[in-house]
């Protein structure tokens, strides 16, 4: 049996009520081994409500990183649920870490607390955005590494392919490089150089894609640097919200009728983001996650850890510049 997924009981807008319920659902309904990290008293009280005290292990962490914390202050204490959770992964006592805490804080803690996998230059954040065609497109890097080299972007592409295979079940994912023109050679220096490396990798390279391709289903994986990726991720969210606000204001449809589209296209609601390239997998669920979403995040984390998203490309994921 594999090591358990460690779930941050203190993260998210709804605290232990939903995170503990999510961990219980992951264990009972999906058969995923889990442990909970956070304030042991609070967690046991919730586990007791589910009659699950004997079923799920608890690791105590005294402090809580507030949801408003976006990175810099996440290390003010070594005994937060984030730092203790990441430490369990680093020591091999857990296969993966799931948190609905602030994305910035979780990513910062994970990079510092878990460390990179062998051969991986920098980690990347992957998120599956639903496309209008019905499938999904993996956006990577959505914000972990804001100043990557071209070689790092090439590795992100491999990590994105692995994610699409393991999580979305796409056998041979196509990969597009986010740029500002579809022709090869278009883009800034970083993107142009990455565009020279990608055709040499063992993946199905589609070529350049553009901003309007992100939700169009043009490719299975869109690779970019973490700065552009994070701007795009938040821009998708804001643009969809703006369009639906205008539709509601025009009187054509009410906010209630549009809620399903809004929910589907809130990118963070859909699937959470996976931090790939570390020695253990980390999945960041949305802050507003309820139990079912936490359970699903555990399943994604488990699949990624079991599938070996980081290591399965062997020689291609090398710390040497990709040729």
Using the rule CB under 8 A, is 287 a contact of a copy of itself?
no
Exposure on the CB side of residue 314, measured as CA atoms within 13 A? 2
Whether the bond into 141 is cis, omega within 30 of 0? yes
State phi, psi for 117 to the nearest 5 degrees.
-70, 155
Choose, by CB under 8 A, the member of 60, 63, 67, 71 that binds a copy of itself.
71
| Least distance (Å) between residue 269 CB and a copy of itself | 14
Exposure on the CB side of residue 142, measured as CA atoms within 13 A? 28
| Least distance (Å) between residue 236 CB and a copy of itself | 5
Choose, by CB under 8 A, the member of 236, 278, 284, 301 that binds a copy of itself.
236
Choose, by CB under 8 A, the member of 30, 78, 252, 319 that binds a copy of itself.
252
Across the beta sheet with 57-60, what order do the strands follow?
57-60, 34-38, 5-8, 96-99, 281-284, 273-276, 124-130, 136-140, 221-223, 174-178, 204-209
Choose, by CB under 8 A, the member of 162, 191, 208, 293 that binds a copy of itself.
191
- Closer CB to a copy of itself, residue 62 or residue 147? 147
- Closer CB to a copy of itself, residue 34 or residue 107? 107
- Closer CB to a copy of itself, residue 34 or residue 221? 221
Of 61, 8, 2, 54, nearest to 28 by C-alpha is: 54
C-alpha span between 178 and 137 (Å, rounded): 12
Using the rule CB under 8 A, is 246 a contact of a copy of itself?
yes
| Least distance (Å) between residue 238 CB and a copy of itself | 3
- The 10 Å Cβ neighbour count of residue 28 is 14
Using the rule CB under 8 A, is 72 a contact of a copy of itself?
yes
C-alpha span between 245 and 261 (Å, rounded): 12
- Closer CB to a copy of itself, residue 143 or residue 277? 143
Strands, E assignment, the chain: 5-8, 34-38, 57-60, 96-99, 124-130, 136-140, 174-178, 204-209, 221-223, 273-276, 281-284
Tokens coding 253: 């449809």
Using the rule CB under 8 A, is 258 a contact of a copy of itself?
yes
Using the rule CB under 8 A, is 125 a contact of a copy of itself?
no
For a copy of itself, which stretch binds (CB under 8 A), given 93-101, 194-202, 257-265, 285-293? 257-265
Binding site for a copy of itself (CB under 8 A): 70-72, 104, 131-132, 143, 146-147, 178-181, 183, 186-189, 191, 210-216, 224-228, 230-247, 250, 252-253, 257-258, 260-261, 264-265
């Amino acid at each position: 049996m594999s090591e358990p997924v460690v779930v941050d009981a203190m993260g998210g807008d709804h605290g232990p009520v939903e995170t503990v319920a999510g961990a219980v659902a992951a264990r009972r309904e999906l058969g995923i081994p889990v442990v909970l990290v956070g304030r042991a008293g609070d967690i046991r009280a919730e586990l007791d409500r589910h009659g699950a005290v004997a079923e799920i292990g608890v690791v105590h962490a005294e402090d809580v990183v507030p949801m408003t914390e976006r990175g810099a202050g996440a290390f003010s204490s070594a005994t937060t649920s984030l730092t203790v959770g990441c430490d369990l992964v680093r020591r091999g006592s857990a296969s993966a870490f799931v948190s609905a805490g602030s994305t910035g804080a979780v990513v910062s803690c994970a990079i510092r607390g878990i460390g990179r996998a062998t051969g991986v230059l920098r980690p990347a954040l992957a998120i599956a955005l639903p496309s209008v065609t019905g499938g999904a497109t993996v956006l990577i890097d959505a914000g972990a590494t804001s100043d990557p080299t071209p070689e790092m972007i090439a590795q992100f592409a491999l990590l994105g392919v692995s994610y699409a295979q393991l999580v979305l079940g796409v056998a041979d994912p196509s990969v597009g490089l986010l740029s500002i023109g579809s022709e090869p050679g278009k883009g800034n220096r970083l993107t142009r150089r990455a565009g020279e490396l990608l055709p040499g990798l063992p993946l199905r390279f589609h070529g350049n894609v553009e901003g309007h391709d992100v939700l169009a289903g043009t490719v299975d994986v869109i690779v970019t640097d973490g700065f552009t990726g994070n701007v795009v991720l938040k821009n998708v969210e804001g643009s969809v919200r703006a369009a639906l606000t205008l539709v509601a204001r025009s009187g054509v449809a009410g906010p209630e009728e549009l809620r399903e589209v809004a929910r589907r296209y809130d990118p963070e609601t859909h699937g959470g983001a996976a931090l790939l390239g570390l020695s253990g997998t980390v999945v960041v669920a949305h802050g507003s996650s309820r139990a079912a979403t936490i359970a699903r995040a555990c399943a994604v984390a488990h699949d990624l850890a079991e599938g070996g998203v980081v290591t399965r490309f062997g020689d291609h994921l090398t710390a040497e510049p990709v040729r």
